[in-house]
């Protein structure tokens, strides 16, 4: 494809010159289609009019500013102070620019129209580099897992991953496919079906039928960086897609992928549907009771299950109460098999999940399972994930539960709990050991601040500033928290910037949270007393 690119204007007057002056600052943008290591550019100008040095060349690796725009790095600046500024003549047809090797996906050229005896024009922009591509994504074709849906258990691979490189995968799964038809002219241009039908026979090119994911497919999973981990996409499913991303920070090093394998297992149950109740609560950061309801349909040949695994939203504090198994009418009447904490085998999984083993497996028929627990939630939207399992070690199989209308005992058909949006980000701050006595006897040596953080995901910085009553800053502490939502804790030991104990007295402590919303109140002040 070719475009004409006007770089200057002639000496002649007229309306055309006036039009040029309306927008003398121009730019050219290109998506290179992939990431490259680039360190040189060549610009070829037209023979009539010659070239000009009045431009800025910039490259971007795809990172974006807070407003969503691409972040560009200026590499070459040519302007009125450039030594080539007076070389505007008809024999100036090519200009070379060299710079440090840089990873880039997007190219930008900013330029200002120059007053020239002949109108300059650009014929080509050439970019050169070296080394392996910085980033490559490989996507599989649609993979049919069998005539019947299968459970995707684990994903593992064999690869050479030198220092400075990374290999990661992600997956999608679904049961339905659909077809799309693409129509092309004899020159290879894609057109709509309506326009294609109106073309003469010699103007028509091929029509190509493609098969793509249909209704009900999952989104792309989180990335898998470690071989052998469990597949996060829903299953059992009949079809899957796999995407591999290979990256390198060194142009002389690259990942070599040798093998990829996904372990497939037969389903534990023909159908698993789950929901949580309640799905809407009025207060966040308060301990409340919840029930995860699981409707299990098992047929002959299904293996059944004896384990339940609940993945909790970030920051959630949860405590298991019991598990009930029976029919809907039995559970509605408070009956069925009720397993208390002393009858359940509880596995230590950390604060991000609950994992229990039932005294007896669930094997045949249609059963309703209610896993009851108390939890404190801190996000506006709190998604829970439920899986059922069977077996131990390498032979263990997990099957994901699909969200849906599991029972009339619940009021919804989802496994997400929603909280009010009107609360602030920083909850009530509790101060313990106030006054505190930093004398080294092990009793009340520090003052501790505990508080909940609401509505924020990801990594953030907690700040503590300590001021004397004269307004002088005596200490500033920063604490990076990977998952900021939930209850947090900050401690001051009564020492200043020089690691010396501050004099006894009253101090103003300002607790803050570094966020991107300047209008949100995220500072709380407390007075503490140091006594020794």
Last residue of a domain, one of 418, 444, 474: 418
Q: What is the pLDDT of residues 396-411, one digit of tens each?
A: 999 999 999 988 888 7
On whether residue 183 sits in a domain, the answer given is: no
On whether residue 344 sits in a domain, the answer given is: yes
- 8-state DSSP, 48: T
Tell me, yes or no, whether 221 and 143 share the same domain: yes
Lowest-confidence region among 112-121, 153-162, 344-353, 390-399 = 112-121
Tell me, yes or no, whether 399 and 442 share the same domain: no
Tell me, yes or no, whether 113 and 155 share the same domain: no
Counting the structural domains of the chain, the total is 4
pLDDT value at position 424?
Answer: 75
Tell me, yes or no, whether 460 and 387 share the same domain: no
Mean pLDDT of 280-297: 88
Q: What is the pLDDT of residues 328-363, one digit of tens each?
A: 889 988 888 999 999 999 998 888 899 999 999 998
Tell me, yes or no, whether 243 and 351 share the same domain: no
**Whole-number Å distance between alpha carbons of 248 and 101:** 14
As a whole-number percent, the residues of the chain with pLDDT over 70 amount to: 89
Q: What is the CATH number of the domain that holds 68?
A: 2.60.120.260
On whether residue 144 sits in a domain, the answer given is: yes
Q: What is the CATH number of the domain that holds 464?
A: 2.60.40.4070
The residue among 5 and 236 whose pLDDT is bigger is: 236
Last residue of a domain, one of 246, 265, 284: 265
pLDDT value at position 84?
Answer: 47
On whether residue 3 sits in a domain, the answer given is: no
Domain range spanning residue 516? 430-530
pLDDT value at position 457?
Answer: 83
Tell me, yes or no, whether 350 and 487 share the same domain: no
Tell me, yes or no, whether 49 and 90 share the same domain: yes
Last residue of a domain, one of 241, 265, 289: 265
- Do 490 and 525 contact (CB within 8 A), yes or no? no
Tell me, yes or no, whether 261 and 277 share the same domain: no
Residues 325-346: b if buried by 16+ CB within 10 A, e if exposed: bbebeebeeeebbbbeeeebee
Give yes or no for residue 444 having a pLDDT over 60.
yes
Give yes or no for residue 116 having a pLDDT over 90.
no
pLDDT value at position 85?
Answer: 44
On whether residue 2 sits in a domain, the answer given is: no
On whether residue 15 sits in a domain, the answer given is: yes
Tell me, yes or no, whether 25 and 104 share the same domain: yes
**Whole-number Å distance between alpha carbons of 524 and 513:** 10
SS3 category, 502: coil
Q: What is the pLDDT of residues 137-156, one digit of tens each?
A: 999 999 999 888 999 999 99
**pLDDT averaged over every residue in the chain:** 87
- 8-state DSSP, 202: G
Burial class from Cβ neighbours inside 10 Å (0-12, 13-18, 19+) for residue 500 reads exposed
Q: Provide the sign of the torsion angle of the four alpha carbons 350, 353, 354, 356, taken in this order.
A: negative
pLDDT value at position 519?
Answer: 52
Structure confidence at residue 79 as a pLDDT band (50, 70, 90): confident
Structure confidence at residue 460 as a pLDDT band (50, 70, 90): confident
Phi first, then psi, for residue 328 (nearest 5°) are -65, -40
pLDDT value at position 92?
Answer: 61
pLDDT value at position 15?
Answer: 46
Tell me, yes or no, whether 64 and 112 share the same domain: yes
Tell me, yes or no, whether 323 and 363 share the same domain: yes
Structure confidence at residue 117 as a pLDDT band (50, 70, 90): very low
Query: Terminus-to-terminus CA distance in the chain, angstroms?
Result: 80
Burial class from Cβ neighbours inside 10 Å (0-12, 13-18, 19+) for residue 319 reads exposed
105: left (phi over 0), alpha (psi -120 to 50) or beta: alpha
**Whole-number Å distance between alpha carbons of 134 and 219:** 25
Tell me, yes or no, whether 413 and 276 share the same domain: yes
**Whole-number Å distance between alpha carbons of 292 and 320:** 11
Interior CA angle at 88 toward 87 and 91, to 5°?
A: 90
As a whole-number percent, the residues of the chain with pLDDT over 90 amount to: 63
Mean pLDDT of 373-380: 91
- Do 432 and 450 contact (CB within 8 A), yes or no? yes
The count of residues in the chain is 532
Residues 430-467: b if buried by 16+ CB within 10 A, e if exposed: ebeebebbbeeeeebbebebebbbbbbeeebebbbbbb
């Amino acid at each position: 494809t070719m475009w004409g690119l006007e770089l200057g204007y002639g000496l002649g007057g007229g309306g055309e010159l006036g039009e040029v002056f309306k927008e003398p600052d121009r730019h050219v943008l290109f998506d290179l289609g992939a990431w490259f290591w680039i360190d040189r550019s060549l610009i070829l100008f037209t023979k009539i009019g010659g070239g000009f040095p009045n431009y800025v060349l910039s490259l971007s690796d795809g990172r974006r500013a807070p407003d969503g725009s691409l972040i560009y790095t200026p590499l070459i600046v040519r302007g009125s102070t450039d030594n080539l500024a007076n070389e505007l003549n008809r024999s100036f047809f090519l200009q070379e620019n060299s710079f440090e090797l840089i990873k880039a996906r997007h190219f930008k050229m900013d330029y200002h129209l120059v007053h020239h005896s002949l109108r300059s024009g650009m014929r080509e922009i050439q970019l050169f580099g070296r080394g392996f591509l910085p980033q490559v994504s490989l996507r599989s074709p649609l993979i049919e897992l069998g005539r019947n849906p299968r459970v995707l258990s684990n994903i593992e691979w064999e690869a050479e991953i030198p220092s400075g490189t990374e290999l990661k995968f992600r997956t999608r799964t679904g049961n339905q496919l659909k077809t799309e038809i693409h129509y092309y002219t004899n020159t290879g241009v894609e057109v709509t079906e309506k326009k294609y039908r109106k073309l003469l026979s010699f103007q028509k090119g091929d029509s190509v039928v493609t098969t793509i994911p249909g209704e009900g497919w999952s989104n792309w999973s989180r990335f898998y960086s470690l071989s052998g981990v469990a597949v996060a996409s829903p299953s059992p499913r009949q079809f899957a897609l796999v995407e591999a991303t290979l990256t390198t920070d060194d142009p002389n090093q690259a990942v070599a992928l040798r093998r990829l394998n996904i372990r497939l297992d037969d389903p534990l149950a023909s159908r698993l549907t789950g929901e949580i109740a309640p799905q809407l609560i009025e207060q966040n950061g308060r301990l409340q009771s919840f029930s995860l309801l699981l409707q299990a349909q098992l047929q002959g040949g299904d293996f059944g299950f004896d384990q339940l695994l609940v993945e909790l939203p970030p920051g959630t504090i949860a405590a298991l109460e019991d598990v009930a198994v029976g029919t809907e009418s039995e559970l509605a009447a408070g009956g069925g098999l009720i397993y208390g904490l002393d009858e359940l085998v509880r596995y230590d999984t950390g604060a991000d999940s609950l994992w229990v083993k039932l005294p007896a497996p669930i094997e045949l028929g249609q059963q309703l399972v209610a896993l009851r627990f108390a939890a404190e939630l801190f996000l506006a939207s709190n998604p829970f994930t439920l899986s059922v399992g069977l077996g131990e070690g390498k032979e263990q199989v997990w099957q994901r539960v699909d969200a849906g209308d599991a029972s009339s005992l619940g009021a919804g058909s989802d496994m997400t709990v929603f909280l009010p949006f009107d609360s602030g980000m920083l909850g009530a701050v509790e101060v313990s050991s106030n006054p505190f006595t930093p004398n080294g006897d092990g009793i009340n040596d520090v003052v501790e601040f505990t508080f909940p953080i609401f509505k924020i995901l990801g990594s953030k910085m907690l700040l503590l500033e300590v001021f004397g009553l004269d307004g002088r800053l005596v200490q500033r502490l920063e604490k990076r928290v990977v998952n900021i939502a939930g209850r947090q804790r900050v401690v001051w030991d009564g020492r200043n910037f020089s690691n010396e104990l501050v004099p006894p007295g009253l101090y103003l402590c300002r607790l803050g949270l570094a966020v991107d919303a300047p209008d949100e109140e995220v500072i709380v002040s407390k007075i503490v007393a140091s006594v020794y």
